[in-house]
Amino acid sequence: MLISRESPVPIYYQIALHLRSRIMGKEWRSGEKIPPEEALSAEYGVSRVTMRQALAELVKDGLLARQQGRGTFVKQIPQPLVHNFNVPILFAGQLRKLGYTLSHEILERKVFDTPFPHVAERLGLTASQPVAYLKRLLMINEQPMAVNHSWFSEELVPGIAVEPLVDGSLSGTLARRYNYVPARSENLIEVARATESESQWLEITRDTPLLVLTSISFLVDDTPLEYSITSWLGDNIRFHFDVRFDAGAASAVLHTDEAALDAVNGRQNDEDAFK
């Protein structure tokens, strides 16, 4: 691994990220002892103090465990959660079936009488139609996992930004209070570094990579139901796609959604710009 000494990312953290990828790639198995600090310091060309800082990050994250007099060992390697876009059930339902405990904390909720233009466009609204907004911290097994921003037409789901969610579930509220179940969704995934507020809520550094899922869900008549942006911890989630090609097509074509690209390009240093 090449250490960039000009990078604003601290050297110890660069090493921690690289060691994390080696662990997740199963270079060392669960319960296996990793090389000692001295050997790793020589491998990466850094001091033992720097290497000790890097290993401390992975101990803090629960990937490594130190045993006095024995060395440092790989703990149970976490298996990333898999979100299968082709399964016609909601992600929360998938996780509950796998035995995970889901919870959330509402960080902000309000109604905007004059929504931002790009939000109104995604929801198919005019600039004068009110938009309901929810910001939530999503937790799995009580661990912060994602920050979610959701926008809705206030006329379509009146009171959603005021009334408590049904059983604490946004999708359950849409289905049981408003009788809305999405028929399809358009999704865009990008990799981005955490914003300042995301790093605080997710308890990570600003340099941590996130998987940012931008999604618009539609009702059966193609009315936009929800526009959302969810920033997931990148090493805890995987998205699965099953791509099928038309046998009669001469070639596969990658279609670029200009609106979705605008959402990516418009991502600011602070997610409050999306409101």
Domain spans, the chain: 11-74, 81-274
* Beta-carbon count within 10 A of 3 CB: 15
DSSP code at position 33: B
Query: Tell me, what's the pLDDT at 34?
Result: 94
CA distances from 161 to 1, 111, 148, 152, 226 (A): 48, 7, 14, 9, 13
CB burial readout 234-256, b (16+ within 10 A) else e: bbbbebeeeeeeeeeeeeeeeee
- Give the dihedral of Cα atoms 153, 155, 156, 159; nearest 10 deg: 90
pLDDT at site 88: 40
Tell me the range of 19-23, 70-74, 264-268 where mean pLDDT is highest: 70-74
- Average pLDDT estimate for 50-78: 86
Q: What is the pLDDT of residue 255?
A: 39
Name 65's bridge partners: 73
The pLDDT of residue 259 is above 50: no
CATH number belonging to domain 81-274: 3.40.1410.10
Whole-prediction pTM value?
0.61
| pLDDT attached to residue 238 | 65
Q: What share of residues in the chain are helix, strand, coil (percent, to 5)?
A: 30, 30, 40
Residue ranges with strand state E in 19-130: 64-67, 71-74, 81-84, 102-112
pLDDT (tens digit, 9 = 90+) per residue, 184-225?
A: 888 888 888 888 888 888 888 777 788 888 899 999 999 999
What is the rounded average pLDDT for all residues in the chain?
79
DSSP symbol at 174: H
pLDDT over threshold 70, residue 121: yes
**243 alpha carbon, distance to own chain's centre:** 22
| Architecture of the domain made up of 11-74 | Orthogonal Bundle (1.10)
| Position 265 pLDDT exceeds 50 | no
Q: Is the pLDDT of residue 4 over 80?
A: no
| 14-23, 63-72, 198-207, 239-248: range with highest mean pLDDT | 63-72
Give the whole-angstrom CA distance, residue 233 versus residue 134.
20
11-74 and 81-274 agree in CATH topology: no
**Residue 151: pLDDT over 80:** yes
